[in-house]
Amino acid sequence: QVQLVEFGGGLVQAGESLRLSCRASGNIFRLVAMGWYRQAPGKQRELVATITENDNTNYADSAKGRFTISRDNAKNTVYLQMNSLKPEDTAVYYCYLRRIKLLSTDDYWGQGTQVTVSS
């Protein structure tokens, strides 16, 4: 099993910044990707940003130019720097991890951390 622990959510005003962190522990084996998804009230969960073992990144259009994803391989930790926050960014943010163990691929999710942006 893999456990994901998230930090950094909170309440900010529009235009301000937040930095989310997520650290993975347990039987990770080969970590192939980590990232962040979010879910706003009444909406489906959507991708925000991911980063692979080869440092390839993928961003939602709404995040490009404002958010930056990065990772620390030694700590099995992924970060999301969120600048110029907007009220539309308000959501529960979930950490995501994909691993390969033997010949199987497994996905894991954190418990979520609330981000609220006031106008």
State the number of CA atoms in the 13 A half-sphere of 72 facing the CB: 9
Q: What is the pLDDT of residues 69-119, one digit of tens each?
A: 999 988 999 999 999 999 999 999 999 999 999 999 999 999 999 999 999
Structure-token pair, residue 58: 């993928």
If we measure between CA atoms, which residue out of 95, 92, 100 comes closest to residue 116? 92
Phi-psi region for residue 17, left (φ > 0), alpha (ψ -120 to 50) or beta?
beta
Q: How far apart are the first and last CA of the chain?
A: 40
Q: What is the pLDDT of residues 3-44, one digit of tens each?
A: 999 999 999 999 999 999 999 999 999 999 999 999 999 999
Q: Are strands 10-13 and 113-118 parallel, antiparallel or unpaired?
A: parallel
Alpha helices in the chain (DSSP H): none
